[in-house]
């Protein structure tokens, strides 16, 4: 089975995410055994950010790294497990609210595809880049 990075690289909807993970130096971490749960924003999610945001983040690696780590949770958590928890703590250290009452939402993002199994974790595809705070 492919790991989280391999799945992202093989999917054309994650080009911006893959570039950001490479720029932040997180490829090896996300290829490690983990396991991790990743809330993976699509290219369309990144496109919703204000113009110039991505370029600014690529020039500010600590901030980029913080935002990317906010999209990662330790452990392999399915939608059903996340629904039971209600909140999770990101690798970045902040709490992320989970809402499965009507659909499946992670903070202010809607999950487009849930429970994508990876060798070292689980991926949930989201429609919005989530930010700490």
Residue 92 phi, psi (nearest 5)? -70, -25
Distance CA 127, CA 42 (A): 6
pLDDT at 1: 87
What dihedral do alpha carbons 65, 105, 90, 16 form, nearest 10°?
-20
Which percentage of the chain shows pLDDT scores above 90?
A: 93
Average pLDDT over residues 96-111: 95
Distance CA 79, CA 56 (A): 33
Q: Would you call 92 helix, strand, or coil by DSSP?
A: coil
């Amino acid at each position: 089975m492919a790991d989280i990075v391999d799945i992202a690289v093989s999917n054309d909807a994650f080009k911006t995410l893959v570039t950001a993970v490479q720029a932040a130096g997180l490829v090896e971490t996300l290829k490690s055994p983990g396991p991790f749960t990743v809330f993976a924003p699509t290219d369309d999610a990144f496109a919703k950010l204000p113009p110039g945001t991505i370029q600014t983040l690529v020039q500010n690696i600590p901030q980029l790294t913080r935002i990317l780590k906010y999209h990662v949770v330790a452990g392999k958590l399915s939608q059903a497990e996340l629904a039971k928890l209600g909140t999770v703590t990101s690798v970045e250290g902040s709490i992320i609210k989970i809402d499965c009452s009507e659909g499946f939402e992670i903070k202010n993002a809607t999950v487009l595809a849930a429970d994508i199994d990876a060798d070292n974790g689980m991926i949930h595809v989201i429609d919005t880049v989530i930010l700490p705070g």
